[in-house]
Amino acid sequence: MTDTPINAPLGEESALVQTCRTQHQTWAATIAQHEQEIDQLLALLNDLLEHHNYQSLRHRAVNYYGDLNHLKSGFQRLRLDTICQTMDCSHTQRQSCREPRFSLYATIESRFHALTDDLNRIQAGCYQFLSVMVTLNLL
C-alpha cells in the first residue's frame, strides 16, 4: 500500500493559513515586548555607565549590559529564523505552520522559553542591582 497525499479542502487550508498568521503575529508581538523590556534596561544601564565611574559598579553594569545585548540578539535571531513576517504565511514563504514536526516552527516554543528563562534570570539580577543604585542615590 502506498501513501497517498491527502489534500485539505480549500476552506480548511484557508483556515490553516489564518491560524498560522495569528500564531506568528502572537509570537512576533511577544518577542517585540521582550525586546522593549531589554531596551529599557539597557537605557538604564547606559545612564549608569555614563554618570558613574566606580570600578565595582561599572564591572557589574557592563556584565548586565553584555548579557542583555546577547539576549536581545537571541530574540532577534528567533524572530528572523522562525517567524513569518509577511501577511500571507503561505507555503511559498515557509512550511512553518503546515508541517510543524518537520519545520522550524516546532522549535519556537522551546527556544522562546529558554530565552524567556534567561531574560527572567538576568532581569531579576539587574533590577536588584539597579534598586541598590537607587537606594544609594546613584541612579
Q: What is the pLDDT of residues 62-107, one digit of tens each?
A: 999 999 999 999 999 888 877 765 555 554 444 445 444 435 556 6
pLDDT tens column, 103-135:
555 667 888 899 999 999 999 999 999 898 888
Q: How many CA atoms lie within 13 A of 12 on its CB side?
A: 5
Is residue 137 within 8 A of residue 61, CB to CB? The reply is no
Q: What CA–CA distance (Å, rounded) separates 25 from 79?
A: 11
pTM of the predicted model as reported, rounded to 2 decimal places: 0.71
Q: What CA–CA distance (Å, rounded) separates 48 from 139?
A: 7
Q: Which amino acid is at 129?
A: F
Closest CA to 20 of 85, 74, 77, 79: 85
